[in-house]
Structure 1
Amino acid sequence: MDTTDGLASLRPTDPDGATARYVFQVEVRLEPDAGGLWTDPNRVETTLYRAADEPGTSGWLFFRDTLWRGELADERYFRTAVEDELGCPVVSASFSELRTDKAYLDGLKSTIAEDLTLFNADSVSEVLRKYLGSSVHVE
């Protein structure tokens, strides 16, 4: 499965100064290259983060286009894309939450409200529920 094009979706356009991030749970398998070496356990759970692009900028629709209803909703594809990025075998990968501050969430809601047709929805609440469910954590 070719994930070359999809890898860009894992990378934010501007991670510096991000006040929001997508959080993923990832389990990787460690496979030492040198003979006679091994790890125990050979699987490690870790958290993977992707900075959320500022609302209205390039990449801000990651949650709509790529996350739940997009290519990362295909767990096998997502594992392969993460493997390519991390350079090690990935056993599992799943989205956990959008972790943000109140200012980012307010900006996101405001930008969504400007054009609900982008989401085929009647309200901002419907958009958030449709694409992020209960997976928004405000710090």
Structure 2
Amino acid sequence: MDAAYVFAVRFRLDPDRGVAVEPETFETRLRRPADDPGESGWLFFRDNLWRGDLADAESFRGLTADALGVLVESVEYRALETDREYYDALREAIAADLAPFNADSVDEVVSKYLGSSVEIRR
């Protein structure tokens, strides 16, 4: 199984010692491996996303800045990129216990947290 959460990150370099850079801001793509369904960390999407966007963009921006060691201006969720095996396992894990998601169906959970931002590779 293979899956990753993908984010667009805009960051700024802030050099010291009297040097300058141009451009000062850059955009990149950040990939965070998705934990296997049922394993510790697999609820990342529930804890951090809402309707295909970051639930707390400011907090996530700070965490991203800490992880990258640069001044992060913005982070935007782009997609869960996954293979069919992972996506099926994710849906099964959700179906096994819908209560924590406050939803009546797996489709509702996927829509509620991931929006339409799921890309399944063949």
Give the alignment's TM-score, normalised by structure 1: 0.80
- Residues 1:91 and 2:73 aligned together: yes
Structure 1: distance between partners of 2:22 and 2:103:
48
Pairwise mapping of residues 23-42 of structure 1 onto structure 2 (< 5 A)? 23-35=6-18, 37-42=19-24
Q: Which gives a bigger RCO, structure 1 or 2 (Cα 8 Å, sep 6+)?
A: 2
Please state how far the C-alpha of 1:83 moved relative to its aligned partner. Answer: 1.1
8 Å Cα contact 2:50/2:115 also seen in 1: no
Structure 2: distance between partners of 1:91 and 1:66:
18
- Residues 1:82 and 2:64 aligned together: yes
Please state how far the C-alpha of 1:45 moved relative to its aligned partner. Answer: 0.2
Give the alignment's TM-score, normalised by structure 2: 0.90
What stretches of structure 2 of length at least 5 have no aligned partner?
none
> Match for 2:49 among 64, 67, 80?
67
**SS of equivalent to 1:23:** strand
Pairwise mapping of residues 16-55 of structure 1 onto structure 2 (< 5 A)? 19-35=2-18, 37-55=19-37
Please state how far the C-alpha of 1:34 moved relative to its aligned partner. Answer: 2.8
Please state how far the C-alpha of 1:81 moved relative to its aligned partner. Answer: 1.4
Relative to total residues, which structure has the larger strand share, 1 or 2?
A: 2
Structure 2: distance between partners of 1:64 and 1:132:
9
RMSD: 1.4
Task: Give the letter for the 1:28 counterpart.
Answer: F
Aligned length: 119
Task: Give the letter for the 2:65 counterpart.
Answer: E
Please state how far the C-alpha of 1:68 moved relative to its aligned partner. Answer: 2.5
- Residues 1:100 and 2:82 aligned together: yes
- Give me the identity figure in percent: 55
What stretches of structure 1 of length at least 5 have no aligned partner?
1-17
**Segments of 4+ in structure 1 off by > 4 A?**
none
